[in-house]
């Protein structure tokens, strides 16, 4: 039914979630290419700026606008588990593409595949199922999202490897994607990494690495939100660490939580207690009206309770 909705729509808005990553933006950019071929009136929208300028290598990323069109009659959302994170006021027809187990199925039509490792995989399979030809720009956008959400193929399935191979054959540039997503580090990000690793705490007999990033730390280093993620991943390389917790103080108030877990814990289930979600191995949440220390203690308490009950 979504194909018919696209055909009849007069103005389609493609929405990447706030503070977009390569998966959300790559999915939207791939669909932008497809809709241009159909000669549709289409707008690429995000409610916030692209904090990570490395994402500007994605085709059509320069077309993003931050004002939601009033004449929209179809919205398509990408990689967004909740309607709230779209940052829009809209009550019309909506197609929701995602791969998060915590997705709220807020769309008129919901294409949510929790077995997919990225939303670009969901989009790729939708294109294939509907006999839609994937051109070079679409392949590049889809590949970037796949590469980012699998941490450069650290997480794999046979379907992911097949998709990656197919997209390269269709024109995706592996080297360009790796360089943009993993090979370009700003001086600010390196400064923040040094601060974070210095201040890292190991708790629960060293099995949990805890990072607290304040606005002062971001200001002193000149780093942005995305720069906080790399030290989180690095900590999991320690032999004793099975869980990594990141708490970032937000300028707008509250605390952003990112959680990485081994098979013993389910990150999504833990953070659903605080309105968040994601995947079993990685999830996120935003806690309002708490200090950074209070937010960390809340999550550690959940981890403690699970450990004591096992």
List pLDDT tens digits, range 109-138: 999 999 999 999 999 999 999 999 999 999
Do residues 76 and 15 touch, judged by C-beta distance below 8 A? yes
Q: Give the predicted TM-score (pTM) of the model.
A: 0.85
Q: What percent of the chain shows pLDDT beyond 90?
A: 74
Does the pLDDT of residue 269 top 90, yes or no?
no
Q: Are strands 74-78 and 94-98 parallel, antiparallel or unpaired?
A: parallel
pLDDT on residue 22: 95
Average pLDDT over residues 243-256: 93
Closest CA to 57 of 156, 159, 179, 154: 179
The total number of residues shown for the chain amounts to 310
Q: Count Cα atoms within 13 angstroms, Cβ side, for 134.
A: 28
* CA atoms of 288 and 277, how far apart (whole Å): 16
* CA atoms of 230 and 223, how far apart (whole Å): 12
pLDDT on residue 1: 58
Do residues 48 and 170 touch, judged by C-beta distance below 8 A? no
Do residues 78 and 119 touch, judged by C-beta distance below 8 A? yes
Does the pLDDT of residue 95 top 70, yes or no?
yes
Q: What percent of the chain shows pLDDT beyond 70?
A: 99
Model confidence at 284, pLDDT cuts 50, 70, 90, reads confident
Do residues 258 and 246 touch, judged by C-beta distance below 8 A? yes
Kindly write down the DSSP assignment for every residue of 59-94, as one continuous string.
TTGGG-BSS--TT--EEEEES-SSGGGG-----S-E
Do residues 260 and 211 touch, judged by C-beta distance below 8 A? no
Domain extents in the chain: 2-183, 187-309
Do residues 59 and 173 touch, judged by C-beta distance below 8 A? no
Model confidence at 140, pLDDT cuts 50, 70, 90, reads very high
3 three-state secondary structure: helix
Do residues 118 and 148 touch, judged by C-beta distance below 8 A? yes
The arrangement of secondary structure in 187-309, i.e. its CATH architecture, is: Roll (3.10)
Model confidence at 235, pLDDT cuts 50, 70, 90, reads very high
CATH number for the domain formed by residue range(s) 2-183: 3.90.1640.10
């Amino acid at each position: 039914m979504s194909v018919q909705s696209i055909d009849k729509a007069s103005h389609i808005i493609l929405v990447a979630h706030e503070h977009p990553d390569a998966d959300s933006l790559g999915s939207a950019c791939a669909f932008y290419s497809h809709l241009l071929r159909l000669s549709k009136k289409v707008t690429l929208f995000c409610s916030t700026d692209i904090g990570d300028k490395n994402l500007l290598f994605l085709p059509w990323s320069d077309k993003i606008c931050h004002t939601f069109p009033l004449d929209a009659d179809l919205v398509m959302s990408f990689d967004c588990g909740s309607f709230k994170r779209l940052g829009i006021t809209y009550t019309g027809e909506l197609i929701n593409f995602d791969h998060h187990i915590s997705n709220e199925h807020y769309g008129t039509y919901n294409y949510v595949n929790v077995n997919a490792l990225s939303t670009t995989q969901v989009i790729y399979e939708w294109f294939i199922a509907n006999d839609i030809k994937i051109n070079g720009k679409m392949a590049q956008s889809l590949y970037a999202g796949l590469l980012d959400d699998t941490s450069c193929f650290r997480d794999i399935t046979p379907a992911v490897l097949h998709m990656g191979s197919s997209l390269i054959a269709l024109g995706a540039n592996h080297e360009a994607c790796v360089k943009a997503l993993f090979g370009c580090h700003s001086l600010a990000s390196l400064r923040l990494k040094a601060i974070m690793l210095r201040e890292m705490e190991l708790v629960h007999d060293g099995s949990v690495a805890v990072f607290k990033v304040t606005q002062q730390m971001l200001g002193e280093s000149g780093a942005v939100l995305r720069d906080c993620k790399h030290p989180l991943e690095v900590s999991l390389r320690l032999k004793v660490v099975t869980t990594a917790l990141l708490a970032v103080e937000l300028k707008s108030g509250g605390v952003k939580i990112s959680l990485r877990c081994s098979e013993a814990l389910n990150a999504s289930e833990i953070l659903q207690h605080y309105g968040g979600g994601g995947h079993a191995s990685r999830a996120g949440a935003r806690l309002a009206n708490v200090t950074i220390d209070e937010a960390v203690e809340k999550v550690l308490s959940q981890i403690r309770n699970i450990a004591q009950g096992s």
